Amino acid sequence: MHRLIKEMFLKYFSNPVLARLGDSAEITKPKNRIAFTTDGYVVQPIFFPGGDIGKLAVCGTINDLAVSGASPKYLAVSFIIQEGFPFVHLEKICQSMAKTAKEAKVKIVAGDTKVIENREAQTGQQKNGAEIYIITTGIGIYPPFMKDYSLGVEKIKPNDLVLINGGIGEHETAIILAREEFEFKAEVKSDCAPLNQLISDLLLICPRIRFMRDPTRGGLATTLNEIVESTNLGIIIDEQAIIIKPAVKGICELLGFDPLYLANEGKVVIITARTEGEKLLARMRKDKLGKEAKIIGEVVKKPKGVWVRTKLGSLRPLLMLEGQQFPRIC
């Protein structure tokens, strides 16, 4: 275990706080409020086009902090690894975590590893080989200009605009394809990316963004529904403004999936006052993670709930996802 820590974690995650190898990471108390969050990652397969479980674990927690308006600073990482998990895979995952953290200017300052028994392998029932799970916990610090301001759904007002930084459904489509349960191939990469830089740039030019959320599991449809649920307002999104890459669309048509419900890992939904919309959009489009940013809809007093303005100009409701999406037969 000592070897593992030295050869793997210290090597890739090296920074002065971690190098002390204390029982806790010691960090200096920041002047401003902090944000604190945790999430577990169990994605299968662990490697997929556009990322891997390590990159996902770093980005996921960074993005959760970032959408609350905080600037992510520190991560703690906990690995749960089944015995027999290949060392080379672990190394690849650590490299990718280190690279992503560096890119996002976040330090991995604490960690833990547990190796657990692999009962399935002993009884010959294992389908995918030994598994790995990663839990990341993060601390972010709010910028000084957010001293007296928190983003929140209660800030949302009728006539606000809804923005997103690009196309939807790419992460889940990449995962579906990487599982190789289908006989077809397509070039779809997960959009998995740390959004903190983009978001902090947006907050600098528009410190009073009303609300942000990353539309991960359940996709854009679920996120928008969560937003309106506690506001008593409605959101109308414009079907024609939503970007769905042809490959994502094609896979969805084949399997009978709705891309509005597919998970994203590098997208942020932003709700802002109408007057700030164009300014934010222009800034987003300058960032490599926001080139295809769009204003996709607006907040309305009535009708309540989430609605899609279709190509034909009619309105249809967009509900929360009920259960898992199953591929259709024909």
Partner 1 sequence: MNLKNYNKTERELLSKIKREIDRPINFMEVCGTHTVAISSFGIRQAMDKRLKLLSGPGCPVCVTPEEDIDLAISLAKQKDVIIVTFGDMMRVPGSNSSLERERANGRDIRVVYSPLAGLKLAQVERQKKVVFLGVGFETTAPTIAACIILARKNKIDNFFVLPLFKIIPPALRKICQAPQLKIDGFILPGHVSTIIGSKPYEFLVSDFHKPCAIAGFLALDILEGIYLLLRQLKTSPKVEIQYRRSVRPEGNIQAQKIMAEVFQVTDSVWRGIGLIEKSGLLFQSEYQNFDARQHFDLPPIKTKTNLACRCGDVLLGLITPFDCKLFAKTCNPEHPVGPCMVSSEGACQAYYKYEYRQ
Q: Which residues bind partner 1 (CB under 8 A)?
A: 181-183, 236, 238, 240, 253, 255-258, 298, 303, 305, 308-317, 319, 322-323, 325-330
Half-sphere exposure in the Cβ direction for 138 (13 Å, CA): 27
Nearest approach, Cβ of residue 258 and partner 1 (Å): 7
> Which one, 143 or 305, has the nearer CB to partner 1?
305
> Which one, 75 or 235, has the nearer CB to partner 1?
235
Nearest approach, Cβ of residue 325 and partner 1 (Å): 7
Nearest approach, Cβ of residue 77 and partner 1 (Å): 33
Nearest approach, Cβ of residue 115 and partner 1 (Å): 28
- Which sign, positive or negative, has the C-alpha torsion 25, 138, 128, 190? negative
Nearest approach, Cβ of residue 299 and partner 1 (Å): 12
> Which one, 88 or 312, has the nearer CB to partner 1?
312
What are the E-state strand segments in 83-224? 107-116, 132-141, 161-164, 211-213
Nearest to 67 by CA among 137, 134, 140: 140
> Which one, 62 or 248, has the nearer CB to partner 1?
248
Those residues whose C-beta lies under 8 Å from the C-beta of residue 175, and which sit 6 or more positions away, are 43, 45, 48, 190, 263
Through-space distance between the first and last CA atoms of the chain, rounded to whole angstroms: 51
Pairing of strands 211-213, 269-272: antiparallel
Q: What share of the chain is helix, strand, coil (3-state, %, to 5)?
A: 35, 25, 40
> Which one, 7 or 253, has the nearer CB to partner 1?
253
